Structures are given as structure tokens and as C-alpha cells.
Amino acid sequence: MTVETAIQLSDEHLGEFCAFFEGDYHAVVGLLIRAGASLGDAEDAAQEAMHAALRQWPAIERPKSFTRTVAFRALYRIWGRAQRERLVRQVTRDEVTSAFDAGEDAGRVLAMLRSLPDAQRLVFALHVDGYDPAGIAEITGQHPDTVRSNLRHARQKLIRKLDSESIRKEADHGP
């Protein structure tokens, strides 16, 4: 990014962008990590998305959707053509813990999320980030019905997994 890019924006637009960046950058990084990116890849993709948003700031109607769409596309490029088929990579607990805090259950939560198929994991991560199916569809390029289906299946699998863990704990420790 060159200094001239930022200078061409009005003070008002520059102030709006700075506030957006400060409030949303870490959320985008966290979303990408929950979707399977390493911390470094997530930061690179988020920076690329924010740079694109800065260049087009006055014309962007929905900055959150715009930056997430650009961030996922940047992440796909970072992962390379061979890894595009696989949406989410394994990440280590150390990389995730710095951006995603689930307390002492972080490892268990991440293992459960990793057990989901890639498409379900992505829509679930976006859903947890506060997006509705229409917003998720806009970001991922899927039909909203497909998003709803993936979200429903993800929930069902996670519920079954929680139920089976609960049954195992009761069997191990008694009633």
C-alpha cells in the first residue's frame, strides 16, 4: 500500500475506515483461524482484505461482508490450487488459542469442529461470527438453501457428538 492511496481519501472516509479496521481486523483473523487457517495465513489474508477495502472504501456498501469475502478469496490463493479443494486445514492448538479462546475446552471444541466436513465447518464458523444464511451465502458464493442445509447438518453432527460424549462420561463415572 502506498501513502498516496490513503491520502486520496477524504478525512471523513479515512476516519471511517480506520474505525472499521480497528474494530474488525481481529474478528476477520479469528474467523479465518476458526475456518482452519494458520495464524500467519489468517493475518496475511485479513491484511489483504483490509487493503482492498481501503482502496475501495467510498464505494463499499457492506464492509464486513466485503472484507470477509476478500479474506476468504485471499486465503484460498495463499493455500494454493491443490489445497482449494480442502477448505479447512488442521491448525495447532497454540495458533488457535491466541485468536480463539474457549477456555479449558478449547481443544475439545476445536476437535469437534475439525470433525465436521469442510463446507459445514465454514458455514458454522461464519454463523458463530454472527452471519445469517443470506450473509454467509454472499460471502461463500453458495445458494442460501445450501448454507441452511450445511448449517443444519453441522448442528446435528455436533449435537450427536456432544450426546455421545455425555453418555461416555456417565458410563465412566456412574449416574
pLDDT reported for residue 6:
43
- Unique residue bearing C-alpha cell 450473509: 135
Global model pTM greater than 0.75 = no
Rounded to whole angstroms, the Cα distance separating 10 from 20 reads 15
Cβ contact 32:42 at 8 Å: yes
Rounded to whole angstroms, the Cα distance separating 74 from 44 reads 8
Q: Which residues are CB-neighbours of 103 under 8 A, at least 6 positions away?
A: none
SS3 per-residue string spanning 63-121: HHHHHHHHHHHHHHHHHCHHHCCCCCCCCCHHHHHCCCCCHHHHHHHHHHHHCCCHHHH
pLDDT reported for residue 103:
58
Cβ contact 6:14 at 8 Å: yes
33-54 pLDDT, tens digit each: 988 888 988 999 999 999 999 9
Range 115-175: architecture per CATH: Orthogonal Bundle (1.10)
Rounded to whole angstroms, the Cα distance separating 136 from 154 reads 14
Rounded to whole angstroms, the Cα distance separating 147 from 120 reads 8
Amino acid at 52: A
Range list for CATH 1.10.10 in the chain: 115-175
53-110 pLDDT, tens digit each: 999 999 999 999 999 999 999 988 887 643 434 443 333 334 444 445 555 566 777 7
